[in-house]
Amino acid sequence: MKPQNNCQRKEDLVTYLYGELTPSEEKNFKEHLNICSSCKKEASEFGMLRENLQTWQVEETPRVVLDLPTTQRPRSLKEILQELGSILPAWFKYGTGFAAACAASLLLLAVFNTQIRYDQNGFSFNVALFNSSNSKNIIVNPQPNDEVARAMVTKILNDKEAQINQALEEKRSQIEKELRKQIDILSGELSQKSNTELSKVSLELKRQQRSDLEKALQQIQRQRTQETFSDDDDPFNLWGGVNNKVIERAMENTQTFEQSGQ
């Protein structure tokens, strides 16, 4: 389809047509219409086209009836929480926040094995991750007396050593107990499994023996049957075909009969 209007101001044309140009833009475009015959012609044609488009009107609109719930609209969890937040008193909200912050701090201190002590040495602060023996003991405001301090340090070290040894001993006995328990469980399981396997093997062997025995019996029966049917008097042995011995004997009898007849 060949375009009738090659002018570049098509967007301005539709904007003008629907009256959405600013007053200055409109003035400018009207001046353009005086010099651009394509746009002028198209503006006129589009104007008449629009009049025709307006002939199609939707006269009747059926009333939309929605089956809305008579109770409250189902709300999301977020909305419910927001409403709960707006209902709760301020002291509760801030109190809960404060309690949560305290709980988080305590948890953090517990994770780092924090020990806070105040004695004659002053205020001490002990931090150790996973109760390490290389824990650092920060002593704030130490006493100036060296001997007392040395004695205190020695005492603390001895105490600490005793605690560590005790803890190690407890841990060792605990591990030993657990290991014994595990070994007992494993040996029990092993014996149970071996019993099960043995019974399976024995059953399989019995089944095999029975099967071999049945096969041997069948073979013996088959041999007996063959012997029964291969009787010398039977000219047509079902198992071996024609009995040659019987035929030879018959031939001899025939020859004897012919000779005697001659």
CA–CA distance, 258 with 233 (Å, rounded to integer): 23
Residue 17 or 128: the one with the smaller Cβ distance to another protein is 17
Two tokens, residue 243: 């009995």
Taking CB under 8 A as the rule, does residue 61 contact another protein? Answer: yes
Helix (H) or strand (E) holding 27: helix 23-35
Please state the closest distance from residue 29 (CB atom) to another protein, in A.
Answer: 13
Please state the closest distance from residue 82 (CB atom) to another protein, in A.
Answer: 10
Q: State the DSSP code for 131.
A: G
Two tokens, residue 114: 């924090």
Sign of CA dihedral 163, 140, 116, 126: negative
Taking CB under 8 A as the rule, does residue 66 contact another protein? Answer: yes
In the block, residue with structure tokens 């079902």: 238
Among the listed residues 8, 24, 62, 259, the single contact to another protein using CB under 8 A:
62
Q: State the DSSP code for 117.
A: E
Please state the closest distance from residue 21 (CB atom) to another protein, in A.
Answer: 11
Contact positions with another protein (CB under 8 A) in 69-128: 69-73, 75-76, 79
- Side-chain-facing half-sphere of 7: CA atoms under 13 Å: 19
Among the listed residues 26, 38, 46, 126, the single contact to another protein using CB under 8 A:
46
Among the listed residues 6, 8, 63, 261, the single contact to another protein using CB under 8 A:
63
Please state the closest distance from residue 80 (CB atom) to another protein, in A.
Answer: 11
Taking CB under 8 A as the rule, does residue 39 contact another protein? Answer: no
Taking CB under 8 A as the rule, does residue 203 contact another protein? Answer: no
Residue 70 or 134: the one with the smaller Cβ distance to another protein is 70
Helix (H) or strand (E) holding 140: strand 136-140
Among the listed residues 8, 22, 34, 55, the single contact to another protein using CB under 8 A:
55
How many CB atoms neighbour CB 230 within 10 A?
13
Contact positions with another protein (CB under 8 A) in 8-37: 10-11, 13-15, 18, 20
- Side-chain-facing half-sphere of 90: CA atoms under 13 Å: 0
CA–CA distance, 64 with 184 (Å, rounded to integer): 77
Which residues sit at the interface with another protein, rule CB under 8 A?
Answer: 1, 3-4, 10-11, 13-15, 18, 20, 45-46, 48-50, 52-58, 61-66, 68-73, 75-76, 79
